[in-house]
Every structure is written in structure tokens, then in C-alpha cells.
Amino acid sequence: MQKWIQLYFTVKTQCCSSGDIILTQSPGAQSVVPGQTVSIRCKASRSIGDDMNWYLQKPGEPPKLLIYDTTYLSGIPGRFTGSGSNSDFTLTISGVQAEDAAVYYCKGEFDSSLH
């Protein structure tokens, strides 16, 4: 019997001095089996260049930065990749592993509330 992994995706409220930027992230949650590839999409209501960061958060832990401006970070497993620009961004997890079960956030760099 295959073990399912539950991934949750959520959006951090975005606001900046030039006005509200609304982010829409999809899907909201997904159950996958180990080894599957998952893509999480985050769409901004207006262009933000490549200023999209991705975080994961596990229960009882602070958010952990995975992708900075769609760029892979040292120390983060290579199965996590970020892509996109302007207003459409994607986080892809290739070959999901059990330890990837978490809440995932997309967050524009213009918002400092997660720091």
C-alpha cells in the first residue's frame, strides 16, 4: 500500500506602499505519493518582476526560505525549483519525499512580514 503525503499551500497576505498586491495560489492542498512531481502556482494581480519567494513551514517551526527571487538556494534540496516572472510563478517539487509534508507559501519580496 502506498503512503500518501499531504501538502498544503497558502498565500501570505501582501501589501506594500504602492497599494495592495493580491496573490492567488493554487491548488489549496494536494495529496501525493512519494516520487510524484507537484507544481504550485502563484499569480500576482500585477507585475512584480521576479520578486517571488517560496517558503515551507512545518508545525512548530518558523517558515524556511526555499526559493529567493525564483533562484535555488544553497542547502536546499535540488528537487525544489522556482520559475516564472512578472505575475505568474511556479514552485515545482520533483520526486516528493515524506519530509516535504508542510505548508508552502508564496510571498512577494515587497512584503517583509515573514522576516
More confident residue, 101 or 5: 101
Residue 113 lies in a domain: no
Read off the pLDDT of residues 58-76 as tens digits, 9 standing for 90 and up: 889 999 999 887 677 778 8
Say if residues 15 and 108 touch (Cβ distance below 8 Å).
no
pLDDT band at 48 (very low <50, low <70, confident <90, very high): confident
What stretches of 4-45 adopt beta strand conformation (E)? 5-11, 23-26, 29-32, 38-44
Residue 104 lies in a domain: yes
Let me know if residue 53 belongs to a domain: yes
Is the pLDDT confidence value at 101 over 60? yes
pTM equals: 0.77
pLDDT band at 7 (very low <50, low <70, confident <90, very high): low
CATH number at residue 93: 2.60.40.10
In total, how many domains does the chain have?
1
Higher-scoring residue by pLDDT: 99, 10: 99
Asked whether residue 115 is assigned to any structural domain, the reply reads: no
Residue 73 lies in a domain: yes
Quickly state the pLDDT bin for 93 (edges 50, 70, 90).
Answer: very high
Domain that holds residue 81: 5-108
Give me 100's grid cell.
516535504
Residue 46, C-beta contacts closer than 8 angstroms, at least 6 positions apart = 21, 87
Closest to 52 (Cα-Cα) out of 70, 64, 39, 35: 70
